[in-house]
Amino acid sequence: MVRFAIAVALVLSASTASAQATDPANPPAGFELSQELRAQGEVMVDEAGQALLDNLIDPASARYRSVFIRTTIGRDQLPHLTICGQVNAKNAMGGYTGWTAFAYSGGAVGLLVGRGGIVGADVVCQPGRGHWDATDYAARVTEKAKLEE
């Protein structure tokens, strides 16, 4: 019984450490995007903001938080970037919808918003998947949106 309890404790601590290591608020120690990937990611941050503005009913009401660049290594062994964050904007009735996760990969994949099975942004951007850059780009997206008004 003691062995079972120790095994369960080890598994739980390993899974917790793994999730914490890729949490945007707690990126892995020593992880830093290269200048090239950071520049590419910042362009994608701007594209994600524009894609959101193009799809919101009231773009001027949009508020952003926890906007990060996430890096994963694909089957091709190359780094792939995704912009993950949350947006809250007014709906057609004039009320805020609540914070909704979004993921932007650019190109053909485009914008995923909210919850939903395999392709929901909440699944794509959950902690434990990929490495997170420590910079929060929420202010950048908000500022760019204000310039578009």
DSSP strands (E only) in the chain: 58-73, 79-90, 100-104, 111-113, 131-132
Per-residue pLDDT at 149:
61
pLDDT in tens, 111-141: 666 665 555 677 777 776 677 777 888 888 8
**Residues paired with residue 57 on neighbouring β-strands, in sequence order:** none
Q: Where are the domains of the chain?
A: 2-148
pLDDT in tens, 56-78: 889 899 999 989 888 887 788 88
Confidence of residue 16 (pLDDT cuts 50, 70, 90): very low
Long-range contacts of 49-53 (CB under 8 A, 24+ apart): 49/140, 49/141, 49/144, 49/145, 50/144, 50/148, 51/104, 51/110, 51/111, 52/87, 52/102, 52/111, 52/113, 52/141, 53/145, 53/148
Per-residue pLDDT at 116:
54
pLDDT in tens, 35-56: 898 899 999 999 988 888 888 8
What is the H or E stretch that residue 121 is in? helix 121-124
Per-residue pLDDT at 94:
94
DSSP strands (E only) in 17-145: 58-73, 79-90, 100-104, 111-113, 131-132
C-beta atoms surrounding 78 within 10 Å: 8
Per-residue pLDDT at 70:
87
Q: How far apart are CA 49 and CA 54, in angstroms?
A: 9
**Among 42-46, 94-98, 140-144, the least confident range:** 140-144
